[in-house]
Structure 1
Amino acid sequence: MKLRRTLVDGRLTLQALAPDGSWVPAQDPAVLGGTVFDSAWELATAHRHVDLSGHVLPFQPVSFRDFMLYEQHAIDAARGLVRRFHPAQARAAALVERLTRKPFPLFKPKGLFYRQPIYYMSNHLNFVPSGAPVAIPSYSSALDFELELGFVLRSPLYNATPQEALDAIGAFVVVNDFSARDVQRSEMATGLGPQKSKHFLSSMSVLAVSADEIVPRLDELSGSVSVNGSTVSTVFSRGMQWSIGDVLAHASRGEHLYPGELFATGTLPGGSGMETGRWLQPGDRLTLAIDQIGEISHSITDAQEPP
């Protein structure tokens, strides 16, 4: 079931796509976490998003945990980052890789990646819908994107099993984690994780798709990255280091999780500019799609402080 929110007669309304192609009132708002925020605040946010993009987020996240589940993305992204910022070292690493026919050791994720799911928490209040124009932050000259699979809880979790965790998912969305890579390099070196490099903006598809349609084919999803109408890369969901159930079970260990909390897989392999070498520039039109769910599209504008 495809879901969206829209403004109808000045009210924020959740709708479902009917078999005849029409949009009708959704019968179960709990699928996207239910009512959490103050209704006046939600309505004001919806109006602001419509003014920006013509669209409304399918739900307002209560929190946002972003995992890194793909080893191939981690390796290719590290390789691309070195290529951008340390070209001499990149050439040396490429020589080692040719000789050994293995990834350069420093490009592989740290050991904890292989022992448990890893994630960071970002700014859940700075999500915008597809269609919103995106200004490069004034403090960055290396704006990147990340095409990810997102999922929202419909039920609370605590010390859940992987199956219990999977059953608590309400719906899936396309998520884009914008990243200021030049800023991220120094922030990561502090050991505290990303801050201004990530928190300025994230985005989400206008549509959400109910979990019953996506869970049976979690390893069979496909998508694409396009810039200015040209396909930059094709991506697939297969190859996660940890299952979605494992991810949520880990997050719920000794910690209460609540309806409306948003999680993401981290970048699908090939889903970022670091990997493809296609960094965002003013005037670009970025489109990120997961075919079975929806897409996110943004125009990129000159660097400026947000209004």
Structure 2
Amino acid sequence: MKLRRVIADGRLELQSLGPDGSWAPAPDPSVLGGPVFDPAWELAAAQRHHGLAGCVLPFQPASFRDFMLYEDHAIDAARGLVRRFHPAQSRAAETVEKLTRKPFPLFKPKPLFYRQPIYYMSNHLSFVPSGAPVAFPSYSTALDFELELGFVLKAPLFNASSAEAVDAVGAFVVVNDFSARDVQRAEMATGLGPQKAKHFVSSMSAVAVTADEILPILESLSGSVTINGRTVSTVSSAGPQWTIGDMLAHASRDEKLYPGELFATGTLPGGSGMETGHWLRPGDRITLSIEQVGEISHQITS
């Protein structure tokens, strides 16, 4: 079932898409986590988003944990980062890879990636819907995108098993984790993870799709990145290091998770400009899509 929110008669209304292609009030708002924020605050946020994008978020996230599930993304992103900021070292690493026919060792994820799901927490209040214009941060010259699969909890979790965790997933969305890569390099070197490199804005699709439609095909989803009308990359959800059940079970260890919290898989391989060399520039129109889930589109401004 596809779900969206609209502003109707001065209030937020959750709607579902019927078989005839028409939208009608949704029968069960709890699938997206139910009420979390003060209604007046949430309506004001939705009105602001509608003014920017002509639509609103399908739900306002209560938090945002962004994982990194894909080894291929981690390796190719490291290659791309070195290629842009350290071209001499990039050429040397490329030579080593040609000789060994293996990824350069420093491009591989850290050992913890292989022992447990890893994630960082970002700014859940900076989400905007598809269609909103996105400006370069004033402190960055290296704006990037990240095409990710997101999902929201419909039920609480605490010390959950993987199976229990999957049962608590309510719906899926497309997530874009915008990144200021030049700033991220310095912040990550502190050992505290990204801050201003990530927190300025994130985005999600205007429509959510209930879990019953996506879970059976979770690792066979395909998607694409289009910039200025040209497809520059295709992606697949196949081959994660960890399942979403593993992700949630790990996150819920001695920590209560609540309905309305948003999680993301991290970038699907090939889903960032850092990997493909297609960095964003002012004036670009970028569209990120995952088939059967949705899409996000933004105009990049200076």
Task: Please indicate, yes or no, whether the TM-score normalized by the shorter chain is above 0.5.
Answer: yes
Offset from partner CA, 1:57-82 (integer Å, 9 cap, x none): 00000000000000000000000000
Percent sequence identity over aligned pairs: 79
Instruction: Answer yes or no: is 1:59 the counterpart of 2:43.
Output: no
Q: What is the CA–CA distance in structure 2 between the aligned matches of 1:180 and 1:101, rounded to whole Å?
A: 31
Query: Where does residue 220 of structure 2 map in the other structure?
Result: 220
User: Structure 2-normalised TM-score?
Assistant: 1.00
Query: Where does residue 129 of structure 1 map in the other structure?
Result: 129
* Equivalent position amino acid for 1:199 in 2: H
Q: How does 1:244-263 map to 2 (within 5 A)?
A: 244-263=244-263
Q: How does 1:1-307 map to 2 (within 5 A)?
A: 1-302=1-302
Q: What is the CA–CA distance in structure 2 between the aligned matches of 1:117 and 1:45, rounded to whole Å?
A: 32
Q: CA deviation at 1:238?
A: 0.4
* Equivalent position amino acid for 1:239 in 2: G
Query: Where does residue 305 of structure 1 map in the other structure?
Result: none
Q: CA deviation at 1:259?
A: 0.1
* Equivalent position amino acid for 1:60 in 2: Q
* Equivalent position amino acid for 1:249 in 2: A
* Equivalent position amino acid for 2:29 in 1: P
- Provide runs of 4+ in structure 1 moved above 6 Å: none
Offset from partner CA, 1:86-136 (integer Å, 9 cap, x none): 000000000000000000000000000000000000000000000000000
Return 5+ residue gaps in structure 1 as ranges: 303-307
Offset from partner CA, 1:114-171 (integer Å, 9 cap, x none): 0000000000000000000000000000000000000000000000000000000000
* Equivalent position amino acid for 1:103 in 2: P
Q: CA deviation at 1:9?
A: 1.4
Return 5+ residue gaps in structure 2 as ranges: none
* Equivalent position amino acid for 1:71 in 2: E
* Equivalent position amino acid for 2:138 in 1: S
Q: How many residues align?
A: 302
Does the residue aligned with 1:125 lie in a helix, a strand or coil? helix
Q: What is the CA–CA distance in structure 2 between the aligned matches of 1:41 and 1:160, rounded to whole Å?
A: 32
Q: What is the CA–CA distance in structure 1 between the aligned matches of 2:247 and 2:11, rounded to whole Å?
A: 35
- What is the RMSD computed on CA atoms of the aligned residues? 0.3
* Equivalent position amino acid for 1:240 in 2: P
Q: What is the CA–CA distance in structure 2 between the aligned matches of 1:294 and 1:163, rounded to whole Å?
A: 26
Does the residue aligned with 1:219 lie in a helix, a strand or coil? helix
Q: CA deviation at 1:8?
A: 1.0
Q: What is the CA–CA distance in structure 2 between the aligned matches of 1:11 and 1:112, rounded to whole Å?
A: 45
Q: CA deviation at 1:10?
A: 1.4
Q: CA deviation at 1:255?
A: 0.4
Q: CA deviation at 1:258?
A: 0.1
Q: What is the CA–CA distance in structure 1 between the aligned matches of 2:101 and 2:36, rounded to whole Å?
A: 51
* Equivalent position amino acid for 1:280 in 2: L
* Equivalent position amino acid for 1:100 in 2: T
Q: CA deviation at 1:264?
A: 0.1
Q: CA deviation at 1:230?
A: 0.1
Q: What is the CA–CA distance in structure 1 between the aligned matches of 2:149 and 2:78, rounded to whole Å?
A: 21
Offset from partner CA, 1:143-202 (integer Å, 9 cap, x none): 000000000000000000000000000000000000000000000000000000000000
Q: What is the CA–CA distance in structure 2 between the aligned matches of 1:286 and 1:232, rounded to whole Å?
A: 10
